[in-house]
Amino acid sequence: MHRHPDTTADFVTMRALALMLVRGSVNGTVTPYGTVLLIEAGLAPALLGPLAAAAAIMTLLTAPTWGRLGDRYGRRRMLVIAFLVAAPVAAAHATGLVPVIAVAYVLFAAVSSAFIPLTDSLILGRLRGDRARFAQVRVGASSAYMVMVVMIGALVSTTVLGWATPGILGAVACVVAAVVVMARLRGELISGTGIAVRGGTGLVAGIAAGVRRNRWFLVGLAMVFCGSNAPTIFTGPRVAEVGGSGWDIGLAIAAGTLVELPAFLVLPWLLRAFGGRRVFLTGGVLLGVAGLTSALAPTPGLLIAARLLFGAGYAWVVLPSLAAISAAAAPDEHAASAALHFATQAGGSLLVALAGLPLVAVTGSVAAVLAVAAITAPIGAVIGLRAWPRAAGAAAGTPAGRTA
């Protein structure tokens, strides 16, 4: 029976949305609560910085590896393995033991670095590089993340599980995600869909080649992600500095995620009207304005407004840059390219952590970190723009090739 092309496209889009929903649910469990769990278990706050840096380094190292393995052995297959390995690691967060949670915190960063690049590359491939449809399904990940974070917060306060909730729900979510991905795994292995061309360069050589080919684009992108990661890390302390309450901190953190949703939804129109390069540059400028506003804001209300700008800036930076680096990749490097993109975000977090701690120690305020990050974001956007990846083997104007 012949299926109408529009029906087929809608079916693929719905499956992609389902994958984004399970990814967002998993990422909304132990990751946002990791540092809180460590402090609740009795870790000294001074040790959070080194642990966060260790997790960022682990992500930086493992994300490209997951990408290359996905290109070689199948993205769904590696996703199933990653989710199944992540389940017991997530469960370890429920033990309440500092050494166990600390090790699990770093290990989860290593395993979860597979989730975003492998799902992004798999979905972009299934959608044939269509950035507009990808933006629509990407909303699912942010929505599920936000719902899971809020639900866990409520369960921690109202059930006997308490702070064991993130670990328990994280393990369950990982198993559910593995089952969802596994449902399509057998057909993929038989048909070869989602499994890239075999052979090519080796694991380390392939990662090195990808870095060399996109080095200036990745440098610019790392600077942009410094501008997005600094507000993520330091918004809570900054709200407290200007006299905000715990409620104000929660509102400020939630504001960015809330704006991501409509920002992703309007992306298809923006991409058609202005092209990926201009949207990317606008996102970098918005991150700069958001960081500078956060550094200078005298009240919690203005900081919350800055987070609204941040949410839009992040959405308009992350998708055009991901689509560009993926469109420029060879058939056997799609997941590796998405992984390099994700690792660059981790690199931005690491740079902010390494530079931020001395700045806070010298100035006595996190405002200096936010101000410096505000400067790096638009400069990085300009560098990334000048080194924008060229689409490989795609004609200008096609969904995969039109990165202008």
Q: Are residues 149 and 270 in the same domain?
A: no
Q: Which residue has the tokens 């800055």?
A: 306
Q: How far is CA 397 from the centre of its chain?
A: 27
Pick the last residue of a domain from 140, 168, 196: 196
Whether 182 and 152 map to the same domain: the answer is yes
Q: Is residue 394 part of a domain?
A: no
Give the end of a domain, one of 196, 229, 260: 196
Tell me: do 337 and 239 sit in the same domain: yes
Kindly state whether residues 211 and 186 are assigned to the same domain. Answer: no
* Helix (H/G/I), strand (E/B), else coil: 69: helix
Of 196, 214, 248, the residue that ends a domain is 196
- What pLDDT, on a 0 to 100 scale, did the predictor assign at position 397? 36
38 in the same domain as 165 = yes
In a domain, 399, yes or no: no
Q: How many C-beta neighbours within 10 Å does residue 44 have?
A: 9
Residue 404 lies inside a defined structural domain of this protein: no
CATH code of 172's domain: 1.20.1250.20
pLDDT value at residue 14: 83
Whether 273 and 185 map to the same domain: the answer is: no
Judge whether 141 lies within some domain.
Answer: yes
Where in the sequence is the domain holding 44, given as residue range(s)? 1-196
Identify which of 402, 398, 339 has the alpha carbon closest to the alpha carbon of residue 119: 339
Q: Give pLDDT, residue 193.
A: 44
| 179 and 238 inside one domain | no
pLDDT at 192: 41
40 shares a domain with 115: yes
Q: How distant, in Å, are the alpha carbons of 63, 99, 174, 396 from that of 88?
A: 20, 15, 9, 46
Buried/exposed code over 68-97 (b: 16+ C-beta within 10 A; e: otherwise) = bbbbbebbbbbbbbbbbbbbebbbbbbeee
Q: Look at the chain and report how many structural domains it folds into.
A: 2
Cα–Cα distance between 290 and 316 in angstroms, integer?
Answer: 14
288 and 139 in a single domain? The answer is no
Query: Do 192 and 210 belong together in one domain?
Result: no
Confidence (pTM): 0.76
Domain-located, residue 255:
yes
The pLDDT profile of the chain, 404 residues, written as one tens digit per residue, is 444 444 466 777 788 888 899 999 999 888 888 877 887 888 876 677 788 788 888 988 898 889 888 888 888 889 999 999 999 999 999 998 999 999 999 999 999 999 988 998 888 888 877 777 888 888 888 888 878 887 887 888 788 888 899 999 999 999 999 998 887 655 544 344 444 444 445 556 666 777 788 889 999 999 999 888 887 777 767 877 888 765 676 677 777 778 888 888 888 889 888 988 999 999 999 999 998 998 888 888 888 888 888 889 998 999 899 888 887 777 667 777 888 888 888 888 788 877 777 777 788 777 888 888 889 999 999 999 999 987 654 433 333 333 33
Q: Are residue 112 and residue 224 in the same domain, yes or no?
A: no
Would you state the pLDDT for residue 380?
A: 94
Q: How far apart are CA 93 and CA 88, in angstroms?
A: 9
Helix, strand or coil, per DSSP, at residue 126:
helix
> What pLDDT is stored for residue 325 in this prediction?
86
Q: Does any domain span residue 88?
A: yes
> Whole-angstrom Cα distance, residue 186 to residue 218?
35
Q: Are residues 148 and 219 in the same domain?
A: no
